[in-house]
Structure 1
Amino acid sequence: MDEFRALHIPGSPLLLPNAWEFGVGAFLAAQGFRALGTTSLGVSAATGEPDGAPSTRDATVALAKRLARLDVLVSVDIADGFSADPAAVADLAAELAEAGAVGVNLEDALGPFEHQVSLIKAVKARVPDLFLNARTDTHWAGDHSVEEAEKRAKAYADAGADGIFVPGLAAPADVEKIVGLGLPLNLLFVPGKVTFTGLAELGVARVSLGSLPYRMALQAAADTATAIRDGRDLPLNPPSYADVVALL
């Protein structure tokens, strides 16, 4: 877990691609990525459930156990913890740590920050070495001020969070304000809105791809099928069957 923490370097951020099943994780690991995240949207879609639904808890744990077989560090997106009960969320974090995960991503979806503080405290009390990335949805679930993000980030840091995640935050001055709080800042890569290099220059310590790889895979699957139907060239050069078998 210390190795994962050490990868969060302000100005030289960890690029964290997100997987939704073992094969994708294995293929990403083969490209040299030292750490992987999971994506709640991808996991939920694979099981036919809404994003972050409590019914996807078991699938999330099962994926973490499979990815832990790889020589990578795994951080698990647990949405809102799949429960409002701090003890239940702490139990989930402990189960994931036992499975081999080194971190979790816990979001507030802009509920009362006092409740999120109680969840963070419960997780850190139960699994103090687990890297807890506290996500606030000020810029994702609504159009809120950077002051609100700053207030929540400070509260989560005081509760024991190891990192702060503010998806959707992009304005340079706002990013620098949250970076200035001193806790590793994680931002989401949003095509056309930010660049990896630009976020690094602002002092960001981690850049997540979130559901982007999953959504890109959906488009690639559709483009492949329609290209064959319409007599066009394939959109990508895929790994061979043998290459995929070797990963497994």
Structure 2
Amino acid sequence: MSNARTDLLRDLHRPGDPLILPNVWDAASASVVAEVGYPALATASASISAMLGYDDHEGAPVGEMFDAAARVIRAVDVPVTVDAEAGYGLPPGELVERLTAIGAAGFNIEDTDQRAGGLLDAGTQAERIAALRTASPDLVINARIDLFLTGSATVEEVAERGRRYLEAGADCVFPILAPSEEVIAELVKAIPGPINVTCLPGMDLGRLAAVGVARVSFGPMTYLTALEALKSMASRIRSGQDPYSA
């Protein structure tokens, strides 16, 4: 059965008027971003695992990752989509059950095999997405495509995975680190459904909207920017400068 938060999150995926998600990692960052006025939030696994003192790519225990996500969700009154990495080896039903239990409105699922290494083949991942969809007709599934991380992907290879994942039941596909606005424009034309992209340095939100993306996220860049601000202030304190001067 659907609920207001999942319905809202799904409705916010509008090609040409994208959902903008400055990713969060704890209750404080979630509260700050929600206070600014964003209608939904997304966690970033790299940020949460680093905050917890572990490596990314499922280096953190699943219980700690879900506990951190639960604190984010409790802190705000807007839908939260959780970065569930590759699913932590959990069966689809258990993954959905745990996400539902903490109040997630949606989740990312990636096609990297974090245990065996490399990418899952497209058919295997499509079957997994179909099983997740069956386990939860409700949660918003953002299917991450990791081909650009390999450094040798073509637009058509990425688009083929995108089409298969949408057919399997994903609500949105996420070709992470699509390298340019030109490539993103090609992907939008080739994939018949909502597309999430990473806003990389040099990209423009207005141009991304104009080519038709439905969702824009920032991954760990928000967390790294916050750490850089802390480092700068700590350096000023140590050198005897005014700690409050930018």
What TM-score does the superposition give when structure 2 sets the normalisation length?
0.88
Contact 2:92 2:135 in 1 (8 A): no
Q: CA deviation at 1:235?
A: 6.7
| 3-state SS, counterpart of residue 132 of structure 2 | helix
Q: CA deviation at 1:22?
A: 0.9
Q: Confirm whether residue 112 of structure 1 aligns to residue 114 of structure 2.
A: no
Contact 1:43 1:56 in 2 (8 A): no
Aligned mates of 2:19, 2:68 — CA distance in 1: 22
- Corresponding residue to 1:227 among 231, 236, 244: 236
Opposite residue 63 of structure 1, the aligned amino acid is A
Q: Please, which moves more after superposition, 42-51 or 176-185?
A: 176-185
- Corresponding residue to 2:18 among 6, 13, 27: 13
| 3-state SS, counterpart of residue 168 of structure 1 | coil
1:116-127 alignment runs, 5 A limit: 116-127=125-136
Matched-pair identity in %:
36
| 3-state SS, counterpart of residue 140 of structure 1 | helix
- Corresponding residue to 2:87 among 81, 85, 92: 81
TM-aligned CA distance change 1:182 to 1:55, over 3 Å: same
Q: CA deviation at 1:219?
A: 1.1
Match of 2:96 in 1: 93
Contact 1:134 1:163 in 2 (8 A): yes
Match of 1:187 in 2: 197
Match of 1:71 in 2: 77
Match of 2:7 in 1: 2
Match of 2:3 in 1: none
Q: CA deviation at 1:178?
A: 2.3
Q: CA deviation at 1:59?
A: 2.0
In structure 1, runs of 5+ residues without a counterpart are 238-248
| 3-state SS, counterpart of residue 187 of structure 1 | strand
- Corresponding residue to 2:215 among 206, 210, 216: 206
In structure 2, runs of 5+ residues without a counterpart are 1-5, 113-118
Opposite residue 157 of structure 2, the aligned amino acid is E
Opposite residue 13 of structure 2, the aligned amino acid is H
Opposite residue 194 of structure 2, the aligned amino acid is P
Q: Please, which moves more after superposition, 51-60 or 196-205?
A: 51-60
Q: Confirm whether residue 29 of structure 1 aligns to residue 34 of structure 2.
A: yes
Opposite residue 177 of structure 2, the aligned amino acid is G
Opposite residue 53 of structure 2, the aligned amino acid is G
Contact 2:107 2:140 in 1 (8 A): yes
Q: CA deviation at 1:90?
A: 3.3
Match of 1:57 in 2: 62
Contact 1:12 1:205 in 2 (8 A): yes
Give aligned pairs, total: 233
Q: CA RMSD in A?
A: 1.8
